[in-house]
Chains A and B, each alone.
Chain A
Amino acid sequence: MAFLLRNISLSAEGREIVRTSRVRDDLIKVGRDPGNDIVLNDLAVALHHATLEQISATQIGVSAEAGLTVEIDGVTTQGGQINSLSGGTIKVGPFLLRILGAEMGSEDVAIDVARADTDADEEKFDTRRFALATTLPGKRTLAWSLAVLVFGVFLAWPIYSYWSQRTGNPEQVAAGYHADQLWSSGPLSRGHASLENNCTACHARPFESVRDTSCASCHTQVHDHADLNRMQQAGPQLGAWARFQRAAANVFGQTPGRCVDCHTEHEGAQQMLPTAQQFCSDCHTDLNGRLPDTRLGDASNFETQHPQFQPSVLVRWDGDTPVTQRASLDRNPREMSNLRFPHALHMNATGGVAQMGRRLSAQYGFGQQLECRDCHTPTPDGTRFQPVDMEADCGMCHSLAFETIGGVVRTLRHGEPRQVVADILSFARGNRVPADLGGGPRSRPGDVNQIRAAIQFAQARSAASPRAMSAVRQAFTPDGACGECHQVQMPASGFDYQIRPVAFPVRYMLHGWFDHRPHQNAQRPGRAMITGSQACLSCHTANASNDATDLMIPNVASCRDCHGGETTRLPVPSSCAMCHDYHMDEGVPSQLLRQQVRGRRWTTTVVRAQPQQPPGRGAAPGTR
Chain B
Amino acid sequence: MATRGIDRGVLSDAAAHESFLRYQRFRWFKIAGVVSLVCLLIYLLVDVQPRHNGGSWLGYALGTIGAGLIVWLALLGIRKRAMTRGRWSLKGWTSAHVYLGLALIVIGTLHTGFQLGWNVHTLAWVLMMLVIISGIYGISVYAILPQGLSDSRSEMTGPQMINAVSQLDKQLQHAAQPLSDSDSAVVVGSLGQDPFGGSAWRRLTGNYPNDPNRAALAYMRDRLEEVPVKQQPAVEQVVELLEKKAAALSRLRGYIQRRGLLEVWLFVHVPLTFVLIAALFAHIISVFFYW
Report B265 CB to chain A, min CB distance, Å.
10
B20-28, B138-146, B240-248, B255-263 - the one binding chain A: B255-263
A142 to B174, CA, bound (A): 45
B contact residues around A209 at 8 Å (CB): 291
- Knowing A41-B177, A133-B263, A159-B289, say if A182 contacts B119 (CB, 8 Å): yes
Q: Which residue of B lies closest to A209 (CB)?
A: B291
When the two chains form their complex, are residues A184 and B267 in contact, meaning their CB atoms are under 8 A apart?
no
- Knowing A43-B177, A124-B195, A143-B271, say if A130 contacts B278 (CB, 8 Å): no
When the two chains form their complex, are residues A267 and B173 in contact, meaning their CB atoms are under 8 A apart?
no
Whether a CB of chain A sits under 8 angstroms from the CB of B188 is: yes
When the two chains form their complex, are residues B188 and A43 in contact, meaning their CB atoms are under 8 A apart?
yes
- Knowing A130-B158, A199-B290, A248-B58, say if A154 contacts B263 (CB, 8 Å): no
Q: What's the count of A-B pairs with C-beta under 8 Å?
A: 167
A266 to B181, CA, bound (A): 74
Q: Which residue of B lies closest to A264 (CB)?
A: B50
A contact residues around B115 at 8 Å (CB): 185-186, 267
Count residues of A near B (Cβ-Cβ below 8 Å). 62
Whether a CB of chain A sits under 8 angstroms from the CB of B54 is: yes
Chain A CB count within 10 A is highest, among B188, B266, B275, for B275
A41 to B191, CA, bound (A): 14
A contact residues around B188 at 8 Å (CB): 43-44
When the two chains form their complex, are residues A127 and B158 in contact, meaning their CB atoms are under 8 A apart?
yes
Report A232 CB to chain B, min CB distance, Å.
18
Whether a CB of chain A sits under 8 angstroms from the CB of B121 is: yes
A17 to B14, CA, bound (A): 60
- The size class of the interface chain B forms with chain A is 35 or more
When the two chains form their complex, are residues A183 and B119 in contact, meaning their CB atoms are under 8 A apart?
yes
Interface hits, A181-197 → B, CB 8 Å: 181-187
B contact residues around A184 at 8 Å (CB): 117, 119
When the two chains form their complex, are residues A185 and B270 in contact, meaning their CB atoms are under 8 A apart?
no
Chain A CB count within 10 A is highest, among B51, B55, B289, for B289
Report B141 CB to chain A, min CB distance, Å.
12
When the two chains form their complex, are residues B263 and A185 in contact, meaning their CB atoms are under 8 A apart?
no
B contact residues around A183 at 8 Å (CB): 119-121, 286-287, 289-290
Chain A CB count within 10 A is highest, among B56, B120, B263, B273, for B120
Pick the contact of A273: B50, B158, B204 (CB < 8 A): B50
Interface hits, B47-103 → A, CB 8 Å: 49-51, 53-58, 60-61
Q: Which residue of A lies closest to B181 (CB)?
A: A46
- Knowing A130-B259, A183-B120, A267-B50, say if A155 contacts B275 (CB, 8 Å): no
A contact residues around B285 at 8 Å (CB): 155
Report A390 CB to chain B, min CB distance, Å.
54
Whether a CB of chain B sits under 8 angstroms from the CB of A134 is: yes
Whether a CB of chain B sits under 8 angstroms from the CB of A303 is: no
Interface hits, A241-263 → B, CB 8 Å: 241, 245, 248-249, 251-252, 254, 262
Report B261 CB to chain A, min CB distance, Å.
9
B contact residues around A529 at 8 Å (CB): none
The 8 A CB mask of A189-224 against B (1 = contact, 0 = none) is 000000000010001001111100000000000000
Report A92 CB to chain B, min CB distance, Å.
14
Report B187 CB to chain A, min CB distance, Å.
6
When the two chains form their complex, are residues A135 and B120 in contact, meaning their CB atoms are under 8 A apart?
no
Whether a CB of chain A sits under 8 angstroms from the CB of B152 is: no
Report A121 CB to chain B, min CB distance, Å.
8
Whether a CB of chain A sits under 8 angstroms from the CB of B41 is: no
Whether a CB of chain B sits under 8 angstroms from the CB of A129 is: yes
Interface hits, A137-191 → B, CB 8 Å: 139-140, 142-144, 146-148, 150-151, 154-155, 158-159, 162, 180-187
When the two chains form their complex, are residues B123 and A43 in contact, meaning their CB atoms are under 8 A apart?
no
Report A2 CB to chain B, min CB distance, Å.
27
When the two chains form their complex, are residues B288 and A124 in contact, meaning their CB atoms are under 8 A apart?
no
Pick the contact of A129: B53, B196, B199 (CB < 8 A): B196
When the two chains form their complex, are residues A43 and B274 in contact, meaning their CB atoms are under 8 A apart?
no
- Knowing A130-B255, A132-B203, say if A162 contacts B289 (CB, 8 Å): yes
Whether a CB of chain B sits under 8 angstroms from the CB of A136 is: yes
When the two chains form their complex, are residues B290 and A245 in contact, meaning their CB atoms are under 8 A apart?
no
Q: List 18 A-B contacts (CB under 8 A).
A: A41-B173, A43-B172, A43-B177, A43-B187, A46-B181, A46-B184, A125-B162, A143-B273, A143-B274, A146-B275, A155-B282, A155-B285, A155-B286, A183-B287, A245-B46, A252-B61, A262-B49, A267-B50
- Add 17 more A-B contacts to A143-B271, A143-B273 (CB < 8 A): A41-B173, A121-B166, A127-B159, A130-B158, A142-B271, A146-B278, A147-B274, A148-B278, A151-B281, A154-B123, A154-B279, A155-B285, A180-B290, A183-B120, A187-B117, A241-B45, A264-B50
The 10 closest A-B pairs by CB, nearest first: A142-B271, A143-B274, A147-B278, A143-B271, A209-B291, A249-B57, A203-B290, A155-B282, A183-B286, A135-B200
